[in-house]
Structure 1
Amino acid sequence: MPQTHDAKSHVGASLKGRRVFVTGHTGFVGGWICAALNALGAEVAGYALPAPEGRALFHDLDLANRMTSIEADIRDTDRITTEIQTFNPDTLFHLAAQPIVREAYKNPIETFDVNVMGTAKVLEAARGCSNLASMIVMTTDKVYRNEEWVWGYRETDSLGGSEPYAASKSACEQVVDAYYKSYFKPEGIAVAAMRAGNIIGGGDWADARLIPDAVRAFETGAPLVLRNPTAVRPWQHVIDVVVAFFLLSDALNGNDQTFHGGWNIAPDLEDQKPVGQVATDFASAWGPEAQVKIEKDDSIPETSILRLDSTKARSQLGWKPVWSLDTALIETATWYKHAVSGSNMSDLTDHTIRSAVAL
């Protein structure tokens, strides 16, 4: 029988006061995780490419002055090895990646290099850490072989990937599994992969993503243009991912190897909605001036229906979504409207984390 994690204590209790190394800390999800780790009282070091000038969550949260920030490429073997082994973390979160599907189509070699070989280099560096107890690698809902099922993929379903981004993340998980079985398991180090759906929340300023594209359009008075409005995706707030990382870390740090492997983090079934519906609901949360326009574009093939089943995380980790999608969209619109008006986003984000998560 699989073990069940006791989630009654505060989320992330095993990380308080511990050393946590985060790759990809200048990105959207990495930024939220680092902010939550700070709130938790962990000692945090991050490794990533520099955040873009201008809009970036890393700047919004002033993370450069709140943690150790190392700006470098994970493909730099000597640098990533030196930085990880010098910090010698208790826990390692690997989120650095090339995360954009359209960019992967344009630059497949770079995408495979970053997502597959970059992950291998992080894993190889981690092998030399004497204090390391656990590691979580962020992947995606797209790691599964595309069957166009109307039901959610489960962790027991086959991995695959019919386009460069999906294939690179599926291959990334194969590398993680090989390293775990060959090196980490014999040393008693627990390793897991987190598979999340379409993550929304304040501070994502990337191109070619629904919510940041909407924000850029709405604040200039332009309509949001949708290219594939009928595609169904599992939408969830970034807070859900933060909680999942912390709960899974607590389980892994309990030295129980049954928690290794892949974990789906997904919203309730009713919140796995078409792009067009989510865009319309976000526009409503933004205000009456926000408009949505459809211009179909089938030049890049995408899965029509992609759902995840997170029964495993709910039953074994005690994880569940913090907010419904409706609430998540309102919270997200509120965050961006504050950012556009020049508010202190570090304070607002910390307040959101503390009010939503029992740290």
Structure 2
Amino acid sequence: MKILITGGAGFIGSAVIRHLMSDTPHTVLNIDKLTYAGNLENLKDIEANPRYAFIQADICDKDAMMAAFESFQPDAIMHLAAESHVDRSIDGPAEFIQTNIVGTCNLLEVARDYWSKLPEAQQPLFRFHHISTDEVYGDLDDSGLLFTESTPYSPSSPYSASKASSDHLVRAWHRTFGLPVVITNCSNNYGPYHFPEKLIPLVILNALDGKPLPIYGKGDQIRDWLYVEDHARALCKVVTEGSVGETYNIGGFNEIQNIDVVKTICSILDDLITDKPAGISHFEELIAFVTDRPGHDQRYAIDASKIENELGWRPIETFETGIRKTVEWYLANREWANHVLDGSYQRNRLGTVK
């Protein structure tokens, strides 16, 4: 297949592309605006692969999207491009509305125009795969309930509201225009190449530098943690085998409180680092509780039985194995992290179609 991927220089998108290049015969065109979260160093190991090409473009630029579709002639699109950081959405919601809602609408229209002109026999084979989040479902109490594909939407933040809007648009384009779509909603991802503003890489890198490890409120918020490479496998399963019009929830089967995530990282670092920052004997001493985020959801938890039963996917990594791999990756790749932290990763901002 020829798969067009938006946001492929980001954390999850780059994991998907690395998986496609190493484990499948598919061809990929990566379209990424290269905002602060887009990092071509995430794809350094596969950038010379003849099955991979890159274009720097904005999904809100209709002419650029039309040109990309026309030149690449994709069999499927995997739409990952999005503003995704909740704190940033609270500070500046407008950018999230523009990218996540307007950008998705623009992409749907370009895809619909392209799909409508395909030969009749090819039209049912085309896929528009929209990648979303479990945050669209809102908050779960402690009753033991899980998010299912039929859970009503109740987003809490500007970020999750913008993603909920984009999900609704994708479903509307399927029902109204017949565009063959699939949607996935995932739990919290973690793993290599995660941008350092997110909890797990922030804690790892701060700890190594002897800086405070900030935890919102009491740290009792519960998330279902999904190793990014497991997520990449799931997404590729859905785009190639998922049923048109269906939604698949993707979770890691790992409900853990934020405070326990941080303490686990500290314990691993205690085992691996003998030369600790000055003034501490254990990394947990760096934990610092800070004022909670406005509207902070208490608990997310995914029921991933549908994708397991229908497509045969289940995560390979437990949280224990995945988090250790993640910590070890950051220890072995300080240069990548330093390039992000000092901004030098942003110097490479050009891309062309092969």
TM (norm. structure 2) is: 0.82
Structure 1 residue aligned with 2:4: 21
Structure 2 residue aligned with 1:273: 256
User: Does the 8 Å CA contact 2:223/2:258 hold for their aligned counterparts?
Assistant: yes
- Separation (CA, whole Å) in 2 of partners of 1:341 and 1:298: 32
Match of 2:136 among 128, 134, 143: 143
- Separation (CA, whole Å) in 2 of partners of 1:26 and 1:60: 7
Runs of at least 5 residues in structure 1 that lack an aligned partner in the other structure: 1-17, 344-359
- Separation (CA, whole Å) in 2 of partners of 1:342 and 1:169: 29
- Separation (CA, whole Å) in 2 of partners of 1:276 and 1:214: 11
- Is residue 2:119 matched to residue 1:126? no
Structure 2 residue aligned with 1:6: none
Q: What secondary structure sits across from 1:167 in the alignment?
A: helix
Shift of 1:337: 1.2
- Separation (CA, whole Å) in 2 of partners of 1:37 and 1:119: 23
User: How is 1:191-206 mapped onto 2 (pairs within 5 angstroms)?
Assistant: 191-206=181-196
Distance change >3 Å, CA 96–CA 56, structure 1 → 2: closer
- Separation (CA, whole Å) in 2 of partners of 1:50 and 1:200: 20
Counterpart residue type for residue 232 of structure 1 = I
- Is residue 2:69 matched to residue 1:69? no
User: Does the 8 Å CA contact 1:215/1:336 hold for their aligned counterparts?
Assistant: yes
Q: Give CA deviations for 1:276-330 in whole Å, capped at 9, x if unaligned.
A: 1011112222335434413231242211111111111111111111111000101
Structure 2 residue aligned with 1:234: 224
- Is residue 2:40 matched to residue 1:58? yes
Counterpart residue type for residue 314 of structure 1 = E
User: Does the 8 Å CA contact 2:7/2:38 hold for their aligned counterparts?
Assistant: no
Structure 2 residue aligned with 1:12: none
Structure 2 residue aligned with 1:217: 206
User: How is 1:226-265 mapped onto 2 (pairs within 5 angstroms)?
Assistant: 226-228=215-217, 229-252=219-242, 256-257=243-244, 260-265=245-250
- Is residue 2:50 matched to residue 1:46? no
Query: What fraction of aligned residue pairs are identical, expressed as a percent?
Result: 24
User: How is 1:304-343 mapped onto 2 (pairs within 5 angstroms)?
Assistant: 304-340=298-334
Shift of 1:338: 1.2
Distance change >3 Å, CA 154–CA 264, structure 1 → 2: same
User: Does the 8 Å CA contact 2:140/2:300 hold for their aligned counterparts?
Assistant: no
Counterpart residue type for residue 273 of structure 1 = I
- Separation (CA, whole Å) in 1 of partners of 2:178 and 2:72: 19
Distance change >3 Å, CA 341–CA 59, structure 1 → 2: closer
- Separation (CA, whole Å) in 2 of partners of 1:92 and 1:286: 39
RMSD: 2.1
Moved more, 280-289 or 70-79: 280-289
Counterpart residue type for residue 237 of structure 1 = Y
Q: Give CA deviations for 1:145-185 in whole Å, capped at 9, x if unaligned.
A: 43535421111111121221111111111000001112235
TM (norm. structure 1) is: 0.81
Moved more, 220-229 or 95-104: 220-229
Counterpart residue type for residue 86 of structure 1 = S
User: Does the 8 Å CA contact 1:150/1:306 hold for their aligned counterparts?
Assistant: no
Q: What secondary structure sits across from 1:308 in the alignment?
A: coil
Q: What secondary structure sits across from 2:201 in the alignment?
A: helix
Q: What secondary structure sits across from 2:95 in the alignment?
A: helix
Q: What secondary structure sits across from 2:290 in the alignment?
A: coil
- Separation (CA, whole Å) in 2 of partners of 1:205 and 1:302: 21
Counterpart residue type for residue 197 of structure 1 = S
